[in-house]
Structure 1
Amino acid sequence: MQGEGTLAMSIYGRLRRDILTGLFEPGERLPLDALGERYRVGLTPLREALNRLSAEELVLRKGKRGFRVAPVSRADLVDLATTLCWVVEVALRQSLAKGDEAWEEAVVLAAHRLQRLDSRLPSHETGVDPEWQRRHIDFHMSLIAASGLRRINDFFATLIDRYDRYMYLGVDATARWPRDTAAEHKAILDAVMARDADLAVRLLQAHIRRTAEIVEASWTARLSDDEIAPGATLVSESS
């Protein structure tokens, strides 16, 4: 039988995944009784899990009114994209400077494992496949793994989790503004294997910005009848 601490961690992981993947909508109330029934858990581990998520700013606690899923916003999206681009500038360059043959092999393996699931790329028809998403994160983490900057790498992992929440929210826009994600990954891999730091950083930052631009455009389109193409002004090249 699981102890309360272990149970709280398990519920925390499940709730976190369900929030990041959009199962719970931004701003949605999280009543304890309904959550308890859904996850078959008591109030104590549930509160512990929610408080942990509140510390990560994925859940908001509104006094006696209980918990809500943290909202999303253009400002937060821009902030995340800009910060990710800054982190990549440092971490990827360091990884390329320090990475050895074993690191290169790990990057190639991560890219190959991701490529094998190209048929499951996110789309408005199929959504986001959890296994594809896990391998997608693994590929991005492998790129900076040799940087030797543990805190920056940990920070990047936290940011990419938050950013992926927006990817889930924007997946319906892929029909209107398609992208060749597999080709983007291949170009990044080729630049990394060539040890071309300037090109690798530029391509990875463009990859990050593209997600933000598609989500931004999809939000704008919901408020307008006009076709609005994803713009390059959301996160500038100099960010």
Structure 2
Amino acid sequence: MPFSPSNETDTEVSSQTTASAIHARLRHDILRGVLKPGERLRVHDVAQRYGGGTIPTREALSRLSAELLVIYLDQRGFAVAPISQESLEDLTRARVWTAEAAVREAVRNGDAAWEERVVLAYHRLSKVPRYESEDPPVSNPLFDPLHREFHLQIFSGCGSQWMVDTCMRLFDHAERYRNLSRQAVVMPREHEHKELVDAVLGRSEEVAVASISDHFRLTARIVNDFRRGN
């Protein structure tokens, strides 16, 4: 069969598309806790589970490794990145530092369009319960994308896409710990979002910084208490 550059290109594009689809599904299942910390991710098994070949599956796992959600163990293959108190404390510090910078800039410089985005994101979030069931605690999957969008819009007023991207990458890494916190204790936390909205819209810089810092640290405390008790 004669060489055909277009056929080769089509194959590469198809492989990349499949890798992206597997990456998205794997990432979702890791963040949601469907795939547990430390769980082995054998390429053949993952390919079968997510409906792709071994080449795009390995590509997807490599991407997740670059995002620090998957680790590669010499001679043992891939595994879901473990979680630990030290990792959570490090992540929380990084979230607080970056959020403080982003929120300060947003409060100082956010325009009317930013305020409207924050109000709309909060309104949508406030209409959706955090849990489908509280006894036993079952998280509501509809809450998570709205929760993410709310924080994204808070940060979006800072004027730096790099800073927003950094804050949201850390937000995504914290998702695994948030799911643990929701299993650990059912508690009303919606007022934390309301306090943050009131502070940023009121241009109360120090209150806004304290509010989002306390918001992140409380999740870490809940998770650490839960893990110590188990």
* Global fold match (TM > 0.5): yes
Q: Structure 1 residue aligned with 2:53, among 42, 53, 71?
A: 42
For residue 121 of structure 1, report the CA deviation from its aligned partner. Answer: 7.2
Q: With structure 2 as the length reference, what TM-score do the two structures score?
A: 0.90
CA distance in 2, matches of 1:43, 1:170: 35
Aligned 8 A contact 2:130 2:139 in 1: no
Aligned CA-pair RMSD: 1.7
- Report how many residues are paired: 219
Q: 2:177 and 2:134 mapped to 1: Cα distance?
A: 14
Q: CA deviation at 1:181?
A: 1.4
CA positional deviation for 1:167:
0.8
TM-score by length of 1: 0.87
CA contact (8 A) 2:130 2:140 kept: no
1:205: which partner in 2?
213
Q: Which of 159, 162, 177 matches 2:173?
A: 162
Q: Describe the SS at the equivalent of 1:67.
A: strand
**Alpha-carbon distance in 2 for matches of 1:213, 1:183:** 18
Return the match for 1:116 from 97, 120, 127.
Answer: 127
Q: Which has the greater radius of gyration? A: 2
Q: Percent identity?
A: 38
Match 1:69 to one of 70, 80, 84: 80
Q: SS state of the match for residue 39, structure 2?
A: coil
* In the alignment, structure 1 residue 216 sits paired with structure 2 residue 227: no
Show CA shifts across 1:186-238 (max 9, x none). 1111111211111111011101101000000001111xxxxxxxxxxxxxxxx
Separation (CA, whole Å) in 1 of partners of 2:162 and 2:130 = 34
Partner Cα distance (2:120, 2:88) in 1: 30
Change in Cα spacing, 1:119 to 1:19, as seen in structure 2 (3 Å) is: closer
The aligned runs of 1:118-137 (5 Å cut-off) are 118=129, 120=131, 123=134, 125-137=136-148
Structure 2 counterpart of 1:26: 37
Q: Please list every run of 5 or more consecutive structure 2 residues that lacks an aligned counterpart in the other structure.
A: 1-9
Report the Cα distance in structure 2 between the residues aligned to 1:122 and 1:18, rounded to whole angstroms. Answer: 20
